[in-house]
Amino acid sequence: MDYIIRYATKTIIMLALISLANSCGSGDASKQPLPYDEYPVYAGNDLELNFSEAETWFRIWSPMAGAAEVRLYERNEDTIPWEVLKMKRAENGTWTARYKGNLHHRFYTFRTRHFNHWLAETPGIYVKATGVNGQKGFICNPREANPEGWENDRGPVVKSFSDIILYELHVRDMSIHANSGIQNKGLYKGLTERGTTNNWGQSTGLDHIIELGVTHVHLLPVFDFRTIDETRPEDNAYNWGYDPQNFNVPEGSYASNPHDPLVRIREFKEMVMAFHNAGIGVIMDVVYNHTGETENSNFNLLAPGYYYRHTPEGHWSNSSGCGNETASEREMMRRYIIESVKYWVTEYHIDGFRFDLMGIHDIETMNQIRAALNEINPSILIYGEGWLAGDSPLPENQRAVKAHAYRMPGIAVFSDDLRDAVKGPWYNEHETGFVGNVQGLEESIKFGVVGSIQHPGIDYSKVNYAKAPYAADPTQCINYVSCHDNHTLWDKIKLTVEGADEAERIRLNKLSNAIVLTAQGIPFLHNGVEMMRSKKNVENSYKSPDSINQIDWNWKYIYKSAVKYHQDLIRLRKEHPAFRMQTAAQVQENLEFLNLSTPCVVAYTINGEPLGDAWKRILVAYNGNRKESRIAIPQGKWKIFVNGDRFLDAGLPHSGGNSLVLPASSAMILAETE
């Protein structure tokens, strides 16, 4: 989440327009007040344009406008249109224009007049292709940019969301370092290259992701965002992309030629197809909760004020922390989000969506998104941040926050409960957590282990944040310990665990992700966490240079044992359905916590046999103590399969009876195989 505060400074004209638009029924003539909720709703699917070689139809929704026009340009860089089409008022707040003739590969903008004032030009909100920097729309059929074989492209088949293992990455970070071995550095095409290696001959880029074994990549925003000047790649400018401009257009700074509108479309599809050919799904990080601009956003230039929430005083509400928040509960905004995600699925074959600050959206909108995507492909994953960055006019009982996850079937939320229990709170860079030997967090760890559901073995009064279960099933819980936000796991450990040398910090890293990858729910890994990724202690790197954000592929060699450990954990999870239960009932019936008196230790058993697991019974133990710990375990014919750093594929018989010694800062996994 980009937490830059972009408060409006040029508000006089636009706030006046918004006030007038909200109190009048026409763009140029005063009428009775018309609340936003009473704006007409257009239900057609032809907003923006319909193109053929014979003619092009344009349609926008701008119910309060007094006039509207289409401005046609020969080239993107032109400042004077070669023709202006007057639009006619049409049904339900729309305006239309028709051009007879072939406009193939021409550019266009819309302009609307409100109260005798022409607003700035906009490519519209439904635009699918743009020129460089996204200021003008481009007339084309996006399918003309389809790569060869695109019609046969398919994402991975997902039987259960619990089978998914997520890996979050930024397009530029993966390839920009000099030692990545990737030619198309910082670009979509860089993620399509195979056979790339670092200085030590180890795989990088796409091959590394395949080798790691994750099932889906989560791409930080790849829609068109406004911060980067696409005409100046030599600036090496950087941004995470949480400042949306054109929601239905791929970002141009990741394309080899941002000046050609078709190149970004083709190369984005080539990237998706490369992942799909490797059996890996593609998740888009989407930011429908706010826009990069406010007064001059594409939304506001068509329907001033409508698409946003406002404070009782009439100011922009700002629960995003970025200057504004969108009003998903309003019908045309809700319809827009739904149509947008459907477009990414049908046109770009996207396999899922991560909703930034999902708590800003209303529950009904999220449920309608789930229903709409179910009609296309029920295995499309939807998850999001179940919180806001500030207060909102949206009533609390309507917010899509984690406490309401049970009211949003088929939608998952991030577990900040487990995240901060494992490594320490996000808001204090000097405080550690369970892996740093902090006592009293055991119930929070257990809450993550069961996937945030109701379970009799948990005292919810002792969970750090949530005091009640919020997931109806474990598939509604995203378990993680690090992501693009805040310090990397490696940096957090270095900052908070006093006296730890590098060897111990590596153990703490491994234990952290052992918890994530053995817990019920959907595990989420931050790109580079498997090789001790550092951002040099920069906490918020949303616009930091490559030197802070890039993946240094030498880390893979330096920490090759840790990379192997993460590979083995992922393989273990994929091989054993006991770690991937699908329902709350399965978890409640088959997972039981050990009643331990040893602080900073969590242990539990899973009945694997009823779940179809080759291991009849499984014992998992996490030791958050920075010293060896001894616990009592149930009697059984146990074999040790994971002992701290070591994976023992054949299993080593446990000879300690009902006593188990846990190495310092480590996880152990035992099983009965017969």
Domain with residue 615: its CATH number is: 2.60.40.1180
Residue 392 lies in a domain: yes
Domain with residue 455: its CATH number is: 3.20.20.80
Q: Does 620 share its domain with 479?
A: no
Among candidate residues 22, 110, 29, the one with its CA nearest the CA of residue 69: 110
Length of the chain: 674
Regarding predicted confidence, which is higher, 27 or 517? 517
Q: Identify the three-state secondary structure at position 477.
A: strand
Q: Does 538 share its domain with 652?
A: no
Distance CA 154, CA 380 (A): 12
Q: Angle at Cα 227 formed by Cα 223 and Cα 229, nearest 5°?
A: 95
Element (H, E) at 669: strand 666-672
Among candidate residues 64, 44, 293, the one with its CA nearest the CA of residue 308: 293
Domain housing 214 = 161-218+236-243+255-273+352-579
Of the residues 541, 556, 579, the one at which a domain ends: 579
Of the residues 579, 599, 619, the one at which a domain ends: 579
Tell me if 289 sits within 8 A of 333, measured CB to CB: no
Residue 224 lies in a domain: no
Q: Does 422 share its domain with 527?
A: yes
Instruction: Give 3-state DSSP helix, strand, coil % of the chain, rounded to 5.
Output: 30, 20, 50
Residue 572 lies in a domain: yes
Residue 410 lies in a domain: yes
Distance CA 238, CA 172 (A): 8
Distance CA 440, CA 451 (A): 19
Confidence of residue 74 (pLDDT cuts 50, 70, 90): very high
Q: Angle at Cα 420 formed by Cα 623 and Cα 438, nearest 5°?
A: 40
Confidence of residue 443 (pLDDT cuts 50, 70, 90): very high
Percent over 70 (pLDDT), the chain: 95
Q: Does 551 share its domain with 595?
A: no
Q: Which residues are catalytic?
A: 356, 385
Residue 51 lies in a domain: no
Residues with Cβ within 8 Å of 403's Cβ and at least 6 positions away in sequence, in order, are: 386, 466, 468, 470
Q: Give the phi and the psi of residue 382 in degrees, each rounded to 5.
A: -125, 125
Q: Identify the three-state secondary structure at position 50.
A: strand
Average pLDDT of the chain, as a whole number: 95
Q: Does 481 share its domain with 628?
A: no
Element (H, E) at 262: helix 261-277
Q: Does 366 share its domain with 493?
A: yes
Q: Does 563 share its domain with 621?
A: no
Q: Does 465 share its domain with 539?
A: yes
Using CA atoms, how far residue 272 sits from 24, 146, 209, 355, 560, in Å, is 46, 11, 14, 19, 28
| Per-residue pLDDT tens over the stretch 353-406 | 999 999 999 999 999 999 999 999 999 999 999 999 999 999 999 999 999 999
Q: Does 560 share its domain with 607?
A: no
- Which pTM does this prediction carry? 0.95
Q: Angle at Cα 613 formed by Cα 612 and Cα 617, nearest 5°?
A: 120
**pLDDT at residue number 253:** 98
Of the residues 525, 555, 579, the one at which a domain ends: 579
Q: Does 375 share its domain with 498?
A: yes
Q: Does 439 share its domain with 552?
A: yes
**pLDDT at residue number 28:** 58
The answer, yes or no, to whether residue 523 has pLDDT greater than 60, is yes
| Per-residue pLDDT tens over the stretch 419-431 | 999 999 999 999 9
Q: Does 441 share its domain with 571?
A: yes
Percent over 90 (pLDDT), the chain: 94
Distance CA 486, CA 492 (A): 9
What is the DSSP code (8-state) at residue 415? -
Confidence of residue 34 (pLDDT cuts 50, 70, 90): confident
Count helices and strands (H / E) in the chain.
14, 27
Structure tokens at 381: 């994953």
* Long-range contact set of residues 178-185: C-beta below 8 Å, sequence gap at least 24: 179/552, 179/553, 179/554, 180/204, 180/205, 180/551, 180/553, 181/205, 181/553, 184/256
Residue 412 lies in a domain: yes
The answer, yes or no, to whether residue 144 has pLDDT greater than 70, is yes
Residue 430 lies in a domain: yes
Residue 557 lies in a domain: yes
The tally of domains found in the chain comes to 2
